[in-house]
């Protein structure tokens, strides 16, 4: 898994708190924007899908699904103050039992997707920190 973290006023929610995944859990706008930006780089994903922790888009390559998760690190209501909040994006392969038993690694794809995400964000002058691999 790979995580990218940044702070920004970009991607703040436009729908009210009760429409979010959970109180203080934002990320739809980021996931939707990222899906479009990645498509422009030739990386096709799904439309955003919701989870309790935020939103994600899926990319399928080599018969493996890669989840690109988008979420905020915020308190309830913090997305509506107009101030920068911390965002976290992760890239994680969803490996089947067969892939795990075979010991297959998809680190190269994860790193390529993480770099594409970072490049997309940097195109908006958003500086990212790689939080882990």
Residue-level pLDDT, tens digit, the chain, 133 residues = 899 889 999 999 999 999 999 999 999 999 999 999 999 999 999 999 999 999 999 999 988 999 999 999 999 999 999 999 999 999 999 988 888 888 888 999 999 999 999 999 999 999 876 655 4
Residue among 89, 84, 85 nearest 115 (CA): 89
Handedness of CA 101, 105, 109, 114 (dihedral sign): positive
> 64-73 and 49-51 as β-strands: parallel, antiparallel, unpaired?
unpaired
Enter the tokens of residue 1: 């898994």
- Domain count of the chain? 1
Rounded Cα distance, 40 and 68, in Å: 16
pLDDT at 99 (0 to 100)? 81
Enter the tokens of residue 8: 């920004």
Would you state the torsion angle of the CA atoms of residues 107, 109, 112, 113, taken in this order, to the nearest 10 degrees? -110
pTM: 0.91
The SS3 call for residue 76 is coil
Residue among 21, 90, 28, 18 nearest 52 (CA): 21
Question: The domain containing residue 104 runs over which residues?
Answer: 2-132
């Amino acid at each position: 898994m790979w995580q990218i973290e940044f702070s920004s006023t970009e991607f703040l929610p436009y729908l009210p708190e009760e429409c979010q995944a959970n109180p203080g859990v934002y990320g739809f706008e980021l996931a939707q924007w990222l899906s479009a930006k990645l498509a422009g780089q030739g990386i096709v994903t799904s439309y955003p899908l919701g989870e309790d922790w935020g939103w994600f888009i899926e990319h399928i390559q080599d018969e493996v699904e890669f989840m690109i998760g988008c979420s905020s690190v915020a308190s309830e209501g913090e997305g509506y103050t107009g101030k920068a909040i911390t965002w976290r994006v992760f890239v994680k392969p969803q490996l089947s039992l067969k892939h795990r038993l075979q010991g297959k690694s998809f680190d190269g794809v994860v790193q390529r997707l993480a770099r594409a995400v970072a490049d997309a964000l940097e195109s908006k002058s958003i500086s990212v920190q790689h939080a882990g691999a």
